[in-house]
Structure 1
Amino acid sequence: MHKREAGLSLVELMISITLGIVLMTGVVQIFLSSKSVFSSQQGLSRIQETGRLGIEFLGRDIRMAAYYGCYRPNPSMPGGELQNGAMVISGLHGNFAEGLRGYDSATSVPGGAAALGGSITPLTKGTANVVVVRSVKIAGLPVSKSNDSNGVYAYTPSPADKNKCVEGMCKDTAVIVSDCFKARVYRIAVDPSVTGNEVYFRHNEGWGGGVIATENFINGEIAAINTTAYFLAKGVSGQPSLWQKTNTEAPVELLEGVEQMRITYATSENENYRLASLLSATDWSKVNSVRIELVVRSADNNLVDSPQPYTLGGVTVTPAPESGVADKYLRQVFTSTIGIRSRATNIQ
C-alpha cells in the first residue's frame, strides 16, 4: 500500500510567491518612505540650525559696529570727532571711523576678492553681499596715567603672552584710546613694554600729553579694534558657505549651506533699507540698522520632488537646473533686522 504524498501544488506555490512579493513591496515602500521623511527632517533640521547660527554670528558683530567703548563721536564738539579714524593698516583692516561698510559682491571690495583670502573662491551667482564691521573688543585696559608724546600707559593684570601681546594688543595692532569725551586711533609701533602692572603702547606719531586737550588722555581706556568681514564662498566640500575674516588673519569657514546673502541698510536720514551700492560714502556713518536675508540650502539634492521657489528681497526665485541636473535642494530663507547699538542714541 502506497503512502499518500503531501505538499504544495504549483498553483498554491505561485499564490504564496505573489503574496510574498506584495508584502515585500509594501515593506520596501514603507522603508523608502520612512527614509525619505527622515532625510527631509534631517535636512530641515540642519538648515534651521545653519540659518539660526548665521543670523546669530552676523547679528552679534553688527550690533557692536562702531563701538568705541564709552566714547561716541560728536562732530559738533571741537575735538569730539574720532581722531585718525581713517587710518588703514592693510586691505580691509582700516577706515576705522566707518564702523560698518557693505559691498554688493566680493568683486566690489577694495582690492577685489583677493582681499578676502587668496585661496578662497567667493560666490558670484545670485546675491552674495559682503559686510565689513569694525569695533573695539568689549574689554580694554584702563589708562594708568597721562600719556607722553610717543605712547599710552595702561594698567594690565597680566604679562605679555608668548606672542608679545597684552590683551590682544601687539605690534602693528590697531588700537583706540578714549576717555568718553574724545578718542584717537593709532597703530602700536613696537612690542608692548610691560613693567610690573603697567604696559606702554608706543605709537611714534608725535602726539600726546602736554597742554593740548585733544591729545592728552589722563584716564579712560585703550583697546584693540577688530575688522571682521562676512562673505560667501565655496567651502571645503564644494558647497556654498558663510565665511569670516578677522583683521589680517586667514579666513575661516563658519557654516556650510549658506547659498545667498542679501544685506540692506537704513540710515538716520533714510529709513528705507537699501543695498550697499545705493548708499553714498557719507551714508555709512549714519547707518543705524541692518537687514539680513540668508538663503540656506540642504547638503543633498534630492529632498524635494521639484524645484522649490523662495522669496528673496521681495522677488520670487525658482532655482534653475545646473549642468542639466534638476535643482531639488530643500531651502529656507532667514531674515533678521539688527540695530547698531552705538548709534541708537548717537549725538548728531
Structure 2
Amino acid sequence: MSRSRLRRGAAATTMAGFGLTELMIAMVLGLIVIGAAFAIFQTSQTTFRSNEGLSRIQETARAAFELISRDVRAAGGSACSNFSAVEGADARTIQFRDNAVSGTTDSLRVVSGDDTAYRVVGSTAGSVTLHADDVDAASDVFAVNDFLILCNARKTHVVRATGVTGHTVTFAALPGGYVPTADIYAPPAAVVLARYRDVNWFVAGHGRPGGGSSLFVSRNGGDPEEVAEGVEGIAFSYLETGEDDYVDTPADWRQVVAVRVTMTLVGADVDGNQLRRTASNVVSMRGRTL
C-alpha cells in the first residue's frame, strides 16, 4: 500500500463523528440531567412555599396570642391598687368585679380598666377635673356615654360620662355622695380616670370571596374588628384556683386565674395540601396571681 493511501486512511479515521448509538446515549444522559435539575427546582419551590406558609402561620399565631394575652393579663385590673374595693351593683360593675374573664369554649370576654389613666386634680360626687398636663381637653380622650373607671387607693367605681367640658368629666353622683379626692384614707394624688375596657374574642367567617375565617375582636359592644386572617378555629379553657386541670366551664368565674387559648390556623395550599397547624398558649390573670 502506498504512503499516500495510508495518509488518506488515517485522516478519514481521525475525522470520524459520533455514531447513532453514542448520540442516543448522550441525549439520554442529557435528559436525565435536565430531569434531575427540574426535580430539584420543583422541590426547592415547594419547600420555599411551605416555609413561607409556615412562617405566615407562626406570625399570625404570635400576633394573635400577644393581643389576647394582653387583655387577659389586664382582666379586672386598673391603674389603682388591687386592694381598691369595687363599689356598686350595676351589671358592668359586677362584671368588672366578679367576672373579669368569662365566656365559652369558642368565645372569650374580658373586662378591665384601660392601660392609660389620667390624673384627677379635683372632684365632687358627680364630676372630676383632669390634670392639665395630661390632656389639653377632656374631650380629646373621653366622650359622653363612655363607661369609665374612677378609682383611688381605697375605692373603685364604674361610671358613665354624662358631660365632657374643658378638663371636667361629669357623671351620676357616686353612692353616698362619695368624693374621691376627699377620702382621708386615700391620697388625693392617687385618684385617676380611665376607660372601661370590655372586649370579646371569637372566630367567624370573614365574608370575602373564596370563604375562610378570621379572628375577630369586639370592643365595648362595637362592630367586630378583624385581627388575624387564616384562623380556622379557637378554643378557650379555664383554670381555677387550687385546680390542676383546665375546664371548659368553671364552677366559679371569680376563681379563674389562667386561660388556655388553642388556635387552629391554615395557610396556602402546597401541592394541593392545605397547611394546617394547631398552637396553644397559657395566660395568667395578673390581678389574681400577683
- Asked whether the two chains share a fold, i.e. TM above 0.5, the reply is yes
RMSD between aligned alpha carbons?
2.8
Matches within 5 A, 1:83-162: 83-84=88-89, 86-87=91-92, 95-97=95-97, 98-104=99-105, 129-148=106-125, 150-157=126-133, 158-160=135-137
> In structure 2, what is the equivalent of residue 207 of structure 1?
174
**SS of alignment partner, residue 139 of structure 2:** coil
Cα deviations by residue, 1:87-116 (Å, 9 ceiling, x for unpaired): 39xxxxx94332221223xxxxxxxxxxxx
Instruction: Give the structure-1-normalised TM-score.
Output: 0.68
Count of aligned positions:
267
Instruction: Give the structure-2-normalised TM-score.
Output: 0.80
Letter of the 1:230 counterpart: W
**SS of alignment partner, residue 37 of structure 1:** helix
Superposition deviation, residue 62 in structure 1: 0.6
Letter of the 1:134 counterpart: V
Describe the shift of the 1:222–1:84 C-alpha distance in structure 2 as closer, same or farther (beyond 3 A).
farther
Matches within 5 A, 1:240-279: 240-268=213-241, 270-275=243-248, 278-279=249-250
**SS of alignment partner, residue 268 of structure 2:** coil
**SS of alignment partner, residue 96 of structure 2:** coil
Letter of the 1:86 counterpart: A
Q: For 1:340 and 1:155, locate their aligned partners in 2 and report how far apart those are by CA, in whole Å.
A: 31
Letter of the 2:266 counterpart: R
> In structure 1, what is the equivalent of residue 203 of structure 2?
232
> In structure 2, what is the equivalent of residue 342 of structure 1?
287
Cα deviations by residue, 1:253-297 (Å, 9 ceiling, x for unpaired): 22222222221111225443111xx234xx222211111222222
Describe the shift of the 1:26–1:57 C-alpha distance in structure 2 as closer, same or farther (beyond 3 A).
same
Structure with more of its chain in helix, by fraction: 2
Cα deviations by residue, 1:180-210 (Å, 9 ceiling, x for unpaired): 21111111123x111xxxx21111x3436xx
Structure with more of its chain in strand, by fraction: 2
Letter of the 1:87 counterpart: R
Match status 1:58 vs 2:68: yes
Q: For 1:274 and 1:335, locate their aligned partners in 2 and report how far apart those are by CA, in whole Å.
A: 15
Q: For 1:47 and 1:11, locate their aligned partners in 2 and report how far apart those are by CA, in whole Å.
A: 54
Given that residues 79 and 113 in structure 2 are in contact (C-alpha distance below 8 angstroms), is that contact kept between their aligned partners in structure 1?
A: yes
Q: For 2:110 and 2:74, locate their aligned partners in 1 and report how far apart those are by CA, in whole Å.
A: 8
Matches within 5 A, 1:242-321: 242-268=215-241, 270-275=243-248, 278-280=249-251, 283-300=252-269, 302=271
Question: Between Structure 1 and Structure 2, whose CA radius of gyration is higher?
Answer: 2
> In structure 2, what is the equivalent of residue 216 of structure 1?
179
**SS of alignment partner, residue 115 of structure 2:** coil
